[in-house]
């Protein structure tokens, strides 16, 4: 699937698509943003699986290299900047969950080369200071990263007053005024967008300019409050624990279990980064990977019964 997407991303870029619209099968058309979340989740899963497959001797080195090059190529053309940081996080997490070996050193070396290639490719297509900072500073600098995350107090995009750092505190102080609101939110779906105004609370239309709806954490805090949000995070914890349990039970399938384990941690971070957890183009990939330990454990139990 990644190879097919790489092909379509290339065709789209040549055809004049750029930024979030050149995202292969996830694209809704030229200059129509919003599909990069699905592509980003897919690339994270493929990257983790490819690296672990090589380390666990399930796949040869060329499989990992091709997978990494395709991901970095797509991220450059589709302007998925966050993937570069996710790649670094993935390397760190893989280093933690796997044993030290010569292969691990080779992996780190190759990823370093691929990352430098990706940054050069990105700058070649979009320019080192394109789009990211108000001062035209290269995106791959501490100043630009600070602005991108929102640590400098800047807004997300051009018209929204909130960012990834300020959204949750603003929702907590201004939307969830009473104690019941803080604990249980304003209501399931209350702050979401809906296809028909008949089912809309009107809350989003009145507050969409703030941009709180762009991040799962701030959106769901509005909808279901602190208790609901903690239950959401408990799902990730449960999956991680189930992966540990599956790892103890299984002789094989170690690559799949470790892939689910690392991806689950990445998905927690994405809760603060975008809406992947609730988007139909991204969430199915996430839930599929998170279901791996349950599938393997159930299969093991059924095999024992037979």
- Could you report the per-residue pLDDT of 17-46, keeping only the tens digit for each? 877 788 888 887 777 767 799 999 999 999
Determine which helix (DSSP H) or strand (DSSP E) holds 230, and give its type and residue range. helix 216-249
Give the per-residue pLDDT at 286.
97
Give the per-residue pLDDT at 139.
62
**60 pLDDT band (50/70/90 cuts)?**
very high
- Could you report the per-residue pLDDT of 104-129, keeping only the tens digit for each? 999 999 999 999 999 888 888 776 55
Which of 80-84, 148-152, 295-299, 300-304 is predicted with the least confidence, judged by mean pLDDT?
148-152
Closest CA to 126 of 69, 67, 75: 75
Count CA atoms closer than 13 A to 176's CA, side-chain side.
28
Q: How far apart are CA 171 and CA 166, in angstroms?
A: 9
pLDDT greater than 70 at residue 132: no
Give the per-residue pLDDT at 27.
83
Distances 120 to 16, 47, 115, 149, 155 between C-alpha atoms, Å: 21, 19, 9, 22, 27
**92 pLDDT band (50/70/90 cuts)?**
very high
Which DSSP letter does residue 38 get?
A: H
Give the residue ranges of DSSP H helices in 127-215.
Answer: 142-149, 167-170, 179-184, 203-207
**195 pLDDT band (50/70/90 cuts)?**
low
Indicate the average pLDDT of the chain. Answer: 87
Percentage, residues of the chain above pLDDT 70:
86
Give the per-residue pLDDT at 183.
97
Q: Which residues contact 221 (CB under 8 A, 6 or more apart)?
A: 168, 171, 172, 176, 185, 229
**79 pLDDT band (50/70/90 cuts)?**
confident
């Amino acid at each position: 699937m990644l190879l097919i997407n790489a092909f379509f991303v290339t065709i789209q870029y040549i055809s004049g698509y750029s930024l979030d619209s050149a995202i292969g099968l996830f694209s809704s058309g030229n200059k129509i943003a919003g599909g990069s979340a699905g592509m980003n989740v897919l690339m994270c899963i493929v990257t983790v699986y490819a690296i672990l497959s090589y380390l666990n001797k399930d796949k040869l080195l060329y499989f990992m290299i091709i997978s990494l090059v395709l991901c970095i190529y797509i991220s450059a053309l589709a302007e998925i900047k966050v993937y570069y940081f996710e790649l670094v996080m993935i390397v760190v997490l893989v280093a933690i969950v796997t044993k030290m070996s010569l292969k691990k050193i080779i992996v780190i070396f190759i990823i370093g080369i691929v990352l430098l290639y990706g940054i050069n490719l990105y700058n070649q297509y979009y320019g080192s200071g394109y789009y990211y900072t108000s001062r035209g500073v290269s995106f791959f600098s501490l100043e630009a990263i600070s602005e991108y995350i929102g640590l400098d107090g800047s807004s997300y995009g051009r018209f929204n007053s909130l960012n990834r750092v300020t959204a949750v505190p603003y929702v907590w102080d201004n939307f969830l005024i009473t104690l019941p609101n803080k604990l249980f939110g304003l209501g399931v779906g209350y702050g979401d967008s809906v296809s028909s105004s008949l089912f809309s609370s009107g809350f989003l239309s009145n507050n969409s300019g703030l941009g709180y709806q762009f991040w799962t954490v701030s959106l769901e805090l509005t909808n279901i409050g602190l208790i609901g949000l903690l239950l959401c995070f408990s799902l990730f914890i449960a999956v991680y624990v189930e992966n540990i349990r599956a790892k103890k039970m299984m002789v094989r399938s170690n690559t799949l279990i470790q892939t689910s384990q690392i991806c689950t941690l990445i998905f927690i971070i994405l809760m603060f980064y975008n809406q992947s957890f609730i988007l139909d183009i991204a969430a199915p990939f996430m839930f599929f990977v998170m279901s791996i330990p349950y599938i393997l454990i159930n299969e093991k139990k059924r095999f024992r019964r037979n």
